[in-house]
Amino acid sequence: MTPLPSQAEIVIIGGGIIGCSTAYHLALAGAKDVILLERAQLTSGSTFHAAGLVGQLRSSRSITQLLSYSVDLYDSLEADTGLSTGWRRNGGLRLACNSERLVELQRAATTGRSFGLEIEILSPSEARALWPMMDVSDVVGAAFLPQDGQADPSDITQALARGARRHGVRIIQNCNVEGIDVRGGRVVGVHTSEGEILCEKVVNCAGQWARSIGEMAGVSVPLVSMQHQYVITEPIEGVTADLPTLRDPDRLIYFKEEVGGLVMGGYEPDPLSWGDTGIPEDFNGRLLQPDWDHFEQLFEQAVERVPAMEAVGIRKLINGPESFTPDGNFILGEAPEVRSFFVGAGFNAFGIAAAGGAGRALAEWILAGEPTSDLWPVDIRRFGAVHRDTDWVRSRTIEMYAKHYAMAWPHEEHASGRPRLRSPLYERLGAAGACFGSKLGWERANWFARTGEKPEDEYSFGRQNWFEAVGEEHRACRTSVALFDQSSFAKFVVDGPDAESALQWLCANDVGKPPGRLTYTQLLNDRGGIECDLTVSRLDEHRFYIVTGTGFRTRDHDWISRHLPAGSDVELSDVTEEHAVLALMGPRARLVLQHVTETDVSDAALPFANLTMLTIAGATVLALRVTYVGELGWELHVPRAAAGDVYDALMTAGRTYGMVNAGYRAIESLRLEKGYRAWGSDIGPDHTPLEAGLGWAVKLGRDIPFIGREAIAAQKVAGPPERLACFTVDDPDITLLGRETIYRDGRRVGWLTSGGWGYTLETNIGYGYVNRGGAAVDTEYLTSGDYELEVVTRRVHCALHLGALYDPEMSRVKA
Ligand SMILES: Cc1cc2nc3c(=O)[nH]c(=O)nc-3n(C[C@H](O)[C@H](O)[C@H](O)COP(=O)(O)OP(=O)(O)OC[C@H]3O[C@@H](n4cnc5c(N)ncnc54)[C@H](O)[C@@H]3O)c2cc1C
């Protein structure tokens, strides 16, 4: 064994494909002092028993890009390292056996084109021409991705390891990491079976053991192990090496060629977890007991698809454990709990496909100290407190595993582990007909069933059953008044003598206003990209109150805490649970509010973007005059214990004015009309405020330094390379969901970041960035083109708009 060094800059734990890819990319990027520690031998975790299918298409562009990079890397890895990788770009075929699945494939084809992937929709006979031994009598169509492929997982890993070694990485096998030293909130070393290593950074690539490695440092890595099985058959006539991989989601199975036979695996609807009481430390180079009884349901499906399977000999049934996560995406990045502790784990049976891109992205993150592009769907900061509960994680992960090949419906909610976090109004809203969704564990009313309706979603790709009910909520908000429970908003307080200067450094907008004022602002990275999108209210000289989206609680807290200027006398605290939030919105909101409080809430006394404390039902309430729906309104931040009384008082007063309960689906429709951006879809780290049409919220005109200022100033001179625009399609039979491709004068120039129906304007509304092949995009360019959207593979004409569709003068908001 190579002697253990006493010191290193970066220690990677785990010699599976992810650890080796991360090591390889760190080394390629010039990292000099990297050690990889593997408890047993390289590839002896999940990697050696992977089936090796490599697909690329995901619903997020950044993840699709990572997977596409994997494919490019695998193209050249063999030549680079001199080791064979078994990599073949033989394409990937995906079948549809009913009309809804075909729509799903067509939508996926459009998404693929939006992201620049080649993807074709085939007829059943065209699909059969690519896969002659399959029966297509129940197939209605297929999608084909010619750039997909398959690889030998162990060989690819060995090639990555050789590449890493050549560039100076030390790989030490048979070395078990037994503890992690954390001092002052930062990693300082690891304890191993062979001794201690002092280090600056630790990278946890320990596969299904990553959760327990995380625990050694006090870091939550929410994954659990699931049993995953596939068979390998004897050779079958007609199975050739160039056969594409095949996914048959309606039968829950997949295939790939292997030595003239087939590998066939799948996702049972009743999946089995493994290692619930802990993963044995010595589970290396081992498999689980094959479970034919459980696998038989998939095998029967396979025989129907490929009749030759019935008679062919079975060489092996593999049952391997693999780590899965509660949302089906992997976990990447620096842990919010401990500085310099990075994670790359939880690959949900696509670790071979993801390894190239994930390893590179993680290496960049480690070296730069922050992600170099938008990785939000896989960012470790997307989790919250609920994910520390392994039982909760397991139940949601089992549900997601079972749904792996299920139809991915728009607006889909999941059922397991609910209800978990409840607003104090949960029972009241339930009694009022709320159909709840869940976000970061919080139950939130999506919509309210009307008399005779069941508060249950019925999914489809067209208008769903809640369409009319949400329309009523939307219109009530536009014409009278609606009450939204937004208690799950994340809320922070920044307190201390340096609070103003610290926040001015963090925020792109000028938050240094007098107490009583509220500011909408973005927090930017050095590239000018939007890391957070939130409101900052000044409570008094040294106290600021920050409100941000439910799902961004961990991430925004992490961003703010990391970027508070060193040495500043300021404290950041999370006060989310202290206050319920009732958003009272609509032209009659003032009448309702004035009814329940003695404080003057006229425009003169409390103009837009101001705040005050007032009393409702005996409770002291912080009223922020702000809106995300484009109407006169207030966010009322109510002490949790008083939420029921305040809600009741508002509902009683609201009766006279036609007030209704309304939910998150109405908010979405209202904000689309008003052109308010949503972080995570319309805006994020890869887009600047200038590109997003939010330049008005950047204090470039003031002589105040802030993060990202230089990048924004430079972009202002050069002009943004893309710009967010609004698109409308009046045809009510069309449903925009986001990711539809944008064409300008017949050329692909972007895709929709979000889409939906505007009930007041009676049109489909979408937002998307328009690019110009790298050149600056100006208004003249935007408005001079002729635009189409590709929706479900069909091109439709659309109108482009700049500025808000609804109330661009802000007269309603400022009423
Ligand atoms: C049956 C099956 C089929 C699959 N098919 C596919 C497929 O077709 N396509 C695809 O893309 N993916 C597939 N996968 C998924 C793929 O195998 C995994 O996602 C991938 O191998 C994960 O790699 P990893 O490096 O994260 O984990 P692992 O390969 O498990 O590596 C983790 C390593 O960490 C080491 N380690 C753990 N604890 C310590 C410690 N304390 N000290 C030192 N070292 C430690 C372990 O020994 C192990 O070698 C499949 C998985 C299974 C189970």
Give the model confidence (pLDDT) of 224-235 as tens digits.
Answer: 999 999 999 999
Q: How far is CA 114 from CA 117, 482, 667, 752, 764, in A?
A: 8, 37, 27, 9, 19
* Alpha-carbon gap, residue 131 to 248, rounded angstroms: 12
DSSP state of 477: H
Q: State if residue 546 touches ligand 1 by the CB under 6 angstroms criterion.
A: no
Q: State if residue 683 touches ligand 1 by the CB under 6 angstroms criterion.
A: no
Residue 553 has pLDDT above 80, yes or no: yes
Average pLDDT estimate for 112-130: 95
Q: How far is the CA of 115 from the centre of ligand 1 (A)?
A: 28
Tell me the β-bridge partners of 741.
751, 790
SS (H, E, C) 237-278: CCCCCCCCEEEEHHHCEEEEEECCEEEEEECCCCCCEECCCC
Q: Pick from 510, 513, 518: which is nearest to 536 by CA?
A: 518
Question: Which residue has its alpha carbon closest to ligand 1 atom 35?
Answer: 14
Question: Which residue has its alpha carbon closest to ligand 1 atom 41?
Answer: 177
pLDDT in tens, 344-378: 999 999 999 999 999 999 999 999 999 999 999 99
Q: State if residue 352 touches ligand 1 by the CB under 6 angstroms criterion.
A: yes
For CA atoms 286, 291, 294, 296, give the dihedral sign: positive
Average pLDDT estimate for 607-634: 98
* Alpha-carbon gap, residue 403 to 324, rounded angstroms: 12
Residue 1's pLDDT band (boundaries 50, 70, 90)? low
Q: State if residue 351 touches ligand 1 by the CB under 6 angstroms criterion.
A: yes
Average pLDDT estimate for 244-254: 98
pLDDT in tens, 515-531: 999 999 999 999 999 99
Written as six digits, the tokens of 346 are: 């939880």
Q: State if residue 171 touches ligand 1 by the CB under 6 angstroms criterion.
A: no
Q: State if residue 332 touches ligand 1 by the CB under 6 angstroms criterion.
A: no
Q: State if residue 47 touches ligand 1 by the CB under 6 angstroms criterion.
A: yes
Q: State if residue 177 touches ligand 1 by the CB under 6 angstroms criterion.
A: yes
**Which mutation among 4, 13, 37, 46 tests ligand 1's pocket best, with the greatest number of atoms within 8 A of CB?**
46
Angle at 169 between CA 167 and CA 171, to 5 degrees: 135
Average pLDDT estimate for 322-346: 98
pLDDT in tens, 453-499: 999 999 999 999 999 999 999 999 999 999 999 999 999 999 999 99
Q: How far is the CA of 202 from the centre of ligand 1 (A)?
A: 18
Q: State if residue 18 touches ligand 1 by the CB under 6 angstroms criterion.
A: yes
Atom number, ligand 1, closest to the C-alpha of residue 319: 1
The H or E element containing residue 642 is none
* Alpha-carbon gap, residue 53 to 63, rounded angstroms: 16
Residue 2's pLDDT band (boundaries 50, 70, 90)? low
Q: State if residue 322 touches ligand 1 by the CB under 6 angstroms criterion.
A: yes
Residue 59's pLDDT band (boundaries 50, 70, 90)? confident
Residue 3's pLDDT band (boundaries 50, 70, 90)? confident
Q: How far is the CA of 322 from the centre of ligand 1 (A)?
A: 7
Atom number, ligand 1, closest to the C-alpha of residue 42: 49
Question: Which residue has its alpha carbon closest to ligand 1 atom 48?
Answer: 45
* Alpha-carbon gap, residue 396 to 441, rounded angstroms: 11
**What is the reported pLDDT for 372?**
94
Q: How far is the CA of 46 from the centre of ligand 1 (A)?
A: 3
Q: How far is the CA of 460 from the centre of ligand 1 (A)?
A: 36
The SS3 of residue 804 is: coil
Q: State if residue 256 touches ligand 1 by the CB under 6 angstroms criterion.
A: no
**Cβ atoms of residues 768 and 775 within 8 Å:** no
Q: State if residue 331 touches ligand 1 by the CB under 6 angstroms criterion.
A: no
Q: How far is the CA of 37 from the centre of ligand 1 (A)?
A: 15
**Cβ atoms of residues 365 and 441 within 8 Å:** no
Q: State if residue 15 touches ligand 1 by the CB under 6 angstroms criterion.
A: yes
Percent of the chain predicted with pLDDT > 90? 99
The residue assigned the tokens 């089995």 is: 272
Q: How far is the CA of 6 from the centre of ligand 1 (A)?
A: 27
pLDDT in tens, 170-214: 999 999 999 999 999 999 999 999 999 999 999 999 999 999 999
Q: State if residue 416 touches ligand 1 by the CB under 6 angstroms criterion.
A: no
Q: How far is CA 787 from CA 746, 790, 796, in A?
A: 8, 10, 9
Q: State if residue 13 touches ligand 1 by the CB under 6 angstroms criterion.
A: yes
The mean pLDDT of the chain is 97
Atom number, ligand 1, closest to the C-alpha of residue 281: 38
The pTM for the full model equals 0.97
